[in-house]
């Protein structure tokens, strides 16, 4: 399950993500066991709410501040371009097949280059679908948002309350689409 919520109605931009993944293979355990979140400390603040491993009836939270490592990976260093972004990383110990890994985080702040504007996309990827995918956008009615749809996304459920528009898109049980032969990755 992938749940993304964007809040433009508060004092600062907030992007919240909650994912829930069941581990089906050993390779999946290795992939899910590495938590990575990238942010720019110049204008963003990362808050990790939880990183839980659910096994049988037991739940273990691994989001302990001392367990994280922060890396500065300058991907354009050879071009002499520094961006200052940091990567928060955590290796979750002892993730096994049939475990459920649940991650919740919020990223606060927005790119200053946008001048307070909001630009993003919400992907309902049919080549790599989640069992349930939700996207929510909260915005004050005074703030205009332009939405450009591609590939027939679900219709939003829109409600208005106290001057705030709440738009929600959701897909449950999306079927995986197979890529055509010789399609570039």
Measured distance CA(101)–CA(86) in Å, rounded: 23
Span of 30-34, 103-107, 145-149 with lowest mean pLDDT: 145-149
- Give the pLDDT band of residue 182 (cuts 50, 70, 90): confident
Query: Burial level of 162, CB count in 10 A (0-12/13-18/19+)?
Result: exposed
Cα–Cα distance between 120 and 137 in angstroms, integer? 11
Instruction: Give CA–CA dist 87/56, Å, rounded.
Output: 31
| pTM, entire model | 0.81
- At 129, the pLDDT band (50, 70, 90 cuts) reads low
Q: Mean per-residue pLDDT for 86-108?
A: 93
pLDDT in tens, 62-87: 988 888 888 877 665 555 555 677 88
Percent residues over pLDDT 70 in the chain: 91
Largest CA distance in the chain: 51
* Domain-wise residue ranges, the chain: 2-172
- The position carrying tokens 């590495």 is 34
Candidate from 26-30, 130-134, 135-139 with smallest mean pLDDT: 130-134
User: What's the fold here for domain 2-172?
Assistant: Immunoglobulin-like (2.60.40)
């Amino acid at each position: 399950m992938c749940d993304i919520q964007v809040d433009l109605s508060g004092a600062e931009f907030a992007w919240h993500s909650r994912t829930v993944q069941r581990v089906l293979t050993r390779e999946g355990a290795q992939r899910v066991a590495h938590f990575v979140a990238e942010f720019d400390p110049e204008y963003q603040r990362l808050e990790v709410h939880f990183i839980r491993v659910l096994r049988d009836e037991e739940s273990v939270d691994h989001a302990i501040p001392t367990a994280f490592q922060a890396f500065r990976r300058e991907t354009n260093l050879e071009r002499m371009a520094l961006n200052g972004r940091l990567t928060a990383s955590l290796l979750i110990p002892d993730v096994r097949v049939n475990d459920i890994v649940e991650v919740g985080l919020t990223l606060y702040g927005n790119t200053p280059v946008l001048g307070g504007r909001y630009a993003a996309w919400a992907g309902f990827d049919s080549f790599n679908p989640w069992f349930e995918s939700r996207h929510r956008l909260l915005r004050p009615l005074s703030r205009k948002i332009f939405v450009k749809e591609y590939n027939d996304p679900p219709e939003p459920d829109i409600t208005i309350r106290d001057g705030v528009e709440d738009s929600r898109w959701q897909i449950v049980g999306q079927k995986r689409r197979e890529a055509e032969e010789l399609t570039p990755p």
